[in-house]
Chains A and B, each alone.
Chain A
Amino acid sequence: MPIFSLPMALFGLLSLPTLAGIYWLRNRYRKRTVSSLMLWHSVTPAKEGGTRVNRLQTPLLFLLELLVLLLLVLAATGPRMLISSSRLPVIVVLDDSFSMLAGGDESPRRAAIESIRRRLETGRYTMRFITAGDEARVISDDVTDPDEAEALLANWRCQSPRGSLPRGISLALEVGGEIARILLVTDHPPAENAAIGERVQWHAFGKSTSNIGFVGASRTTRKDDQMCLFEIVNFSDSPTTAELKLEWLVDGADPAPIGSPLKLKLRADEKRDLFIPVTPSIGTIRASLGDDALDTDNQVVLLRQEPRAVRVSLGLNDSQLTRHIQHVIRVIPGIEIVTTKADLLITDAEKLPTLNEHAATWTSQLISEDPTSAYIGPFVVDHAHPLTTGFSLEGLVWAAGNANEMSGGNHRSLLAAGNVTLLDVRMDDVERHHIRMRYRLDASTLHASNVWPVLFFNLVDWRRAHLPGVEHPNLRVGESVIINLTAGGKALSITQPDGQSREQPLAGRRLRIPAEQPGIASVKIVEDDSPFKSPEWQYAANLLDGNESNLRSAGAVEVGDWSNAKALRWSYQSVAWSMGLLAAVMLALHLMFMARRSSRTDGGGGVS
Chain B
Amino acid sequence: MEKQYRTALEIGFMAGMRYALTAPRRVPAGVIGSHMGQRAGASLEFQEHRDYQPGDDLRRIDWSAYARTDKLTVKLFREEVNPHIDILLDTSASMALTETPKAEGALGLVAALTAAAGNSGFTHAVYQTRDGCEPVLNGNESPTVWDDLTFECQEPLEESLAKLPPAWRPRSVRMLISDLLFMGDPLLIAQQFAQGAAAVCFVQVLAREDTTPPHRGNVRLVDSETGELREVFVDAAMQKLYRDSLAAHQENWNRAALQVGASMRTFIAQDLMTDWDLAPLVEAAVLQVG
User: Which residues of B in the span 138-197 have a Cβ within 8 Å of any Cβ on A?
Assistant: 179, 181-183
Interface 1/0s, chain A 49-61, versus B by CB < 8 A? 0010011011000
Instruction: Tell whether, in the assembled complex, residue A607 and residue B246 are in contact, meaning their CB atoms are under 8 Å apart.
Output: yes
A575-604 interface with B by 8 A CB criterion: 597, 600-601, 603-604
Query: Are A604 and B240 in contact (CB-based, < 8 A)?
Result: yes
State whether A43 touches B217 (Cβ < 8 A).
no
14 further A-B pairs in the complex, CB-CB below 8 A; given A34-B222, A35-B95, A54-B238: A32-B219, A33-B99, A34-B210, A35-B97, A35-B102, A35-B210, A36-B224, A38-B183, A39-B242, A45-B230, A605-B243, A605-B244, A607-B211, A608-B247
By the criterion CB–CB under 8 Å, are A37 and B230 in contact?
yes
CA A30 to CA B226, docked complex, whole Å: 19
Q: Which of A4-12, A21-29, A358-366, A394-402 contacts the other chain? A: A21-29
Q: Which residues of A contact B249 (CB under 8 A)?
A: 38-39
Task: Report if A197 contacts B (CB, 8 A).
Answer: no
Q: How many residues does chain B have at the interface if contact means C-beta atoms less than 8 Å apart? A: 46
User: Are B182 and A36 neighbours in the complex by a CB distance under 8 Å?
Assistant: yes
Measured CA separation A444–B101 after assembly (Å): 122
Q: How far is the CA of A28 from the CA of B233 in the complex (A)?
A: 10
Smallest distance from the beta carbon of B101 to chain A beta carbons, Å?
A: 13
Q: Is the interface of B mostly helix, strand, loop or mixed?
A: mixed
Do A44 and B232 contact each other (CB < 8 Å), given the known contacts A29-B218, A607-B243?
A: yes
Is B236 an interface residue, CB under 8 A from the partner?
yes
Docked Cα-Cα span, A104 to B241, in Å, equals 91
Q: A39-B242, A39-B249, A607-B246 are in contact. Are A26 and B232 (CB under 8 A)?
A: no
Residues in A neighbouring B206, C-beta threshold 8 A: 35
Number of interface residues of A (CB under 8 A): 36
Quick check: B219 and A42 within 8 Å, CB to CB?
A: no
Within 8 A of A (CB), among B196-211: 206-207, 209-211
Chain A residues whose C-beta falls within 8 Å of the C-beta of B254 in the assembled complex: none
A46 contacts B by Cβ under 8 Å? yes
- Is B217 a contact partner of A40 (Cβ separation < 8 A)? no
B238 and A603 within 8 A (CB): no
User: Would you call A606 an interface residue if the criterion is a C-beta within 8 Å of the partner chain's C-beta atoms?
Assistant: yes
B123 contacts A by Cβ under 8 Å? no
**A608: nearest residue on chain B (CB-CB)?**
B247
Can you give 26 A-B contacts (C-beta < 8 A)? Answer: A27-B218, A30-B220, A31-B219, A31-B220, A32-B214, A32-B220, A33-B223, A35-B102, A35-B210, A35-B224, A35-B225, A36-B179, A36-B181, A36-B225, A37-B221, A37-B223, A38-B183, A39-B246, A40-B245, A42-B241, A42-B245, A45-B231, A54-B235, A605-B240, A605-B244, A607-B246
Asked if B98 and A33 make an inter-chain contact with CB atoms under 8 angstroms apart, the answer reads yes
B38 within 8 A of A: no
Instruction: Please state if B221 and A38 are interface contacts (CB–CB under 8 Å).
Output: no
The residue on A at minimum CB distance from B249 is A39
Query: Is residue A351 within 8 Å, beta carbon to beta carbon, of the partner chain?
Result: no
Bound complex: CA of A57 vs CA of B218, how far in Å? Answer: 12
Of residues 534 through 574 on chain A, the ones whose CB sits less than 8 Å from some CB of chain B are none
Chain B contacts to A: CB under 8 angstroms: 94-95, 97-99, 102, 179, 181-183, 206-207, 209-212, 214, 217-226, 228, 230-233, 235-247, 249
Chain A minimum-CB-distance residue to B207: A35
In the assembled complex, A223 has its CB within 8 A of some CB on chain B: no
Q: Which residues of B contact A43 (CB under 8 A)?
A: 232, 238, 241-242
Given the known interface contacts A39-B242, A606-B243, the answer about A32 and B181 at a Cβ–Cβ threshold of 8 Å is no
Given A34-B222, A35-B94, A607-B247, verify A54-B211 contact (CB < 8 Å): no
Contacts of A27 in B (CB 8 A): 217-218
Inter-chain contact B231/A46, CB cutoff 8 Å:
yes
Is the beta-carbon distance between A30 and B219 smaller than 8 angstroms?
yes
Contact present for A36 and B214 (CB under 8 Å):
no
A47 within 8 Å of B by Cβ?
Answer: yes
Residues in A whose Cβ lies below 8 Å from that of B244: 605
Q: Are B220 and A29 in contact (CB under 8 A)?
A: yes
When C-beta atoms are compared, the residue in chain A nearest to B156 turns out to be: A36
Known interface pairs A28-B218, A30-B214. Does A35 touch B181 (Cβ–Cβ under 8 Å)? yes
Query: Chain B residue with minimal CB distance to A600?
Result: B236
Q: Are A40 and B214 in contact (CB under 8 A)?
A: no
Q: Which residues of A contact B219 (CB under 8 A)?
A: 29-32
Q: Which residues of B contact A39 (CB under 8 A)?
A: 181, 242, 245-246, 249
Contact B242 A33 (CB under 8 A): no
Q: Which of B182, B235, B240 neighbours the largest number of chain A CB atoms within 10 Å of its CB? A: B235
Q: In whole angstroms, what is the CA distance A513 to B183 when docked? A: 103
Closest Cβ–Cβ distance, residue A49 to chain B (whole Å): 11
Residues of chain A with a CB closer than 8 A to B212's CB: 607
User: Are the C-beta atoms of B221 and A34 separated by less than 8 Å?
Assistant: yes
CB-defined contacts of B97 to chain A, threshold 8 Å: 33-35
Report Cα–Cα, A51/B246, bound state, in Å. 21
Q: Chain A residue with minimal CB distance to B179?
A: A35
State whether B217 touches A26 (Cβ < 8 A). Answer: yes
Cβ of B60 to closest chain A Cβ, rounded Å: 50
Please state if B246 and A604 are interface contacts (CB–CB under 8 Å).
no
Contact among B211, B221, B231 with A47 in the assembled complex (CB-CB below 8 Å) = B231
Give chain A nearest CB distance to B270 CB in angstroms: 14
Partner of A36, one of B94, B217, B241: B94
B286–chain A nearest beta-carbon distance, Å: 20
* CB-based nearest A residue for B209: A34
Closest CB in chain B relative to A603 CB, distance in Å: 7
Q: A30-B219, A34-B224, A35-B224 are in contact. Are A46 and B98 (CB under 8 A)?
A: no
- Closest partner residue, chain B, to A53 (CB atom): B237
Q: What is the CB-to-nearest-CB distance from B89 to chain A, in angstroms, rounded to a whole number?
A: 15
Asked if A38 meets B220 with Cβ closer than 8 Å, knowing A57-B235, A600-B235, the reply is no
Contacts of A40 in B (CB 8 A): 221, 230, 232, 242, 245
Give CA–CA (A57, B236) in the complex, Å: 11
| CB-CB nearest 8 A-B residue pairs | A35-B94, A29-B220, A36-B181, A46-B233, A607-B211, A39-B245, A601-B236, A29-B218
Contact B224–A55 (Cβ < 8 Å): no
Q: Does the CB pair A51–B237 fall under 8 Å? A: yes
Nearest CB of B to A444, in Å: 106
Best-surrounded residue of B233, B236, B242 (most CB of chain A within 10 A): B233
A30 touching B218 by the CB < 8 A rule? yes
With A29-B231, A46-B232 already in contact, the answer to whether A34 and B223 are too (CB < 8 A) is yes
What residues on B are CB-neighbors of A44 within 8 Å? 232
Q: Least Cβ distance of A52 to chain B in Å?
A: 12
Chain B minimum-CB-distance residue to A44: B232
Q: Note all chain B residues with C-beta closer than 8 A to A597.
A: 235-236
- Tell me the smallest distance from the CB of B273 to a CB of chain A, in Å: 17
Q: Which residues of B contact A35 (CB under 8 A)?
A: 94-95, 97, 102, 179, 181, 206-207, 210, 224-225
Q: Which residues of A contact B239 (CB under 8 A)?
A: 604
Closest to B238 in A: A43
Residues of B within 8 A of A604 (CB): 236, 239-240
Nearest residue (CB) in A for B210 is A35
Residues in chain A near residue B245, CB distance under 8 A: 39-42
A605 and B242 alpha carbons, distance in the complex (Å): 10
Chain A residue with Cβ nearest B242: A39
- The answer to whether residues A33 and B224 also contact, given A39-B242, A600-B236 and a CB cut-off of 8 A, is yes
Bound complex: CA A29 to CA B233 (Å): 9
Chain A, residue nearest B228 (CB): A37
Q: Evaluate contact between B182 and A38: CB separation under 8 angstroms.
A: yes
CB neighbours of A57 from chain B (8 A): 235
Chain A residues in 8 Å Cβ range of B243: 605-607
Q: How far is the CA of A51 from the CA of B249 in the complex (A)?
A: 23
Contacts of B235 in A (CB 8 A): 54, 57, 597, 600
Cα A42 to Cα B206 with chains together (Å): 20
In the bound assembly, the distance between CA atoms of A45 and B94 in angstroms comes to 22
Residues on B with C-beta less than 8 A from A36 are 94, 179, 181-182, 223-225
| Closest beta carbon of chain A to B145's beta carbon, Å | 29
Cβ–Cβ < 8 Å partners of B238 in chain A:
43, 54
